[in-house]
Amino acid sequence: MTRLRGRGYAAVNYPTGMNLGGDPSQALIHATTTGTFVVSLSSVDLGQGLKTVVAQCAAETLGLPFTNILVDTADTDTGPHCMGTFASRGTHRVGNAVIMAATEARAIMLDVAAEELEVDAADLETDGTGYIQVRGAEAKRIHITDLALAAHFTHGRTISGRGVFMKEKSEVVPETGEMDPDSCQAHACTVAEVEVDDETGVVEVLRMYSVYEIGRALHPAMATQQVEGGAWMGMSHALFEATEPYYPVRDHGPADFSEYLMPAAGDIPEQVSVLLERPAPTGPYGAKGIGEMTANAPIPAIANAIFDACGVRLDHMPFTPERVLRALDSLRGQDLSAHG
Give the chain's mean pLDDT: 90
Most confident of 89-93, 197-201, 241-245: 197-201
Q: Which of the residues 60, 244, 292, 322 is marked catalytic?
A: 292
Q: Give 30 or 242, the one with higher predicted confidence.
A: 30
| Contacts of 6 by beta carbon, 8 Å cutoff, 6+ apart | 193, 194, 196, 305, 306, 307, 308, 309, 310
| Residue 262 predicted with pLDDT over 80 | yes
* pLDDT (average), residues 326-335: 84
244 is catalytic: no
- The pTM is what? 0.88
Confidence of residue 62 (pLDDT cuts 50, 70, 90): very high
Q: Write the secondary structure of 159-225 as one string of H (helix), E (strand) and C (coil).
A: CEEEEEEEECCCCCCCCCCCCCCCCCEEEEEEEEEEEEECCCCCEEEEEEEEEEECCCCCCHHHHHH
Rounded Cα–Cα distance for residues 202 and 239 (Å): 9
The whole-angstrom separation of Cα 275 and Cα 273 is 7
Q: Work out the average pLDDT over 286-300.
A: 91
pLDDT at 247: 59
Is the pLDDT score of 74 beyond 90? no
Distance of alpha carbon 254 from alpha carbon 248, whole angstroms: 14
Q: What is the mean predicted confidence (pLDDT) over 244-254? A: 67
Mean pLDDT value across residues 47-75? 92
Q: Can you name the residues that pair with 283 across neighbouring β-strands?
A: none
Instruction: Give the residue among 283, 271, 269 at the shortest CA–CA distance from 213.
Output: 283
DSSP, residue by residue, 71-87:
EEE--TTTSPPB--S-T
Number of H helices, E strands in the chain: 6, 11
Please write the tens of the pLDDT for every residue from 153-163.
Answer: 999 999 999 99
DSSP 123: G
> How is the chain split into domains, by residue range?
3-15+183-339, 23-167
Peptide bond just before 318 cis, omega within 30 deg: yes
Q: Is the pLDDT of residue 170 over 70?
A: yes
The pLDDT of residue 309 is above 90: yes
**Cα maximum dimension of the chain:** 97
Contacts of 54 (CB under 8 A, 6+ apart): 27, 39, 41, 43, 71, 94, 95, 98
The band of 6, judged by pLDDT with boundaries at 50, 70 and 90, is very high
Q: Has residue 298 got a pLDDT over 70?
A: yes
H-state helical runs in 240-339: 298-310, 321-338
pLDDT at site 48 = 80
Share of the chain above pLDDT 70, in %: 95
Where residue 189 falls (left for φ over 0; alpha for ψ -120 to 50; beta otherwise) is: beta
In this model, does residue 338 exceed pLDDT 70? Answer: no
Q: What are the helix (H) ranges across 118-214?
A: 144-153
Q: How confident is the model at residue 246 (pLDDT cuts 50, 70, 90)?
A: low
Residue 26 has pLDDT above 70, yes or no: yes
- Between 3.90.25.10, 2.60.40.10, 3.40.109.10, 3.30.365.10, what CATH number should domain 23-167 receive? 3.30.365.10
- 173-189 pLDDT tens trace: 999 998 888 888 899 99
Report which of residues 86 and 338 the model is more confident about.
86
Q: Thinking of the domain 3-15+183-339, which architecture would CATH place it in?
A: 2-Layer Sandwich (3.30)
pLDDT given at position 20: 72
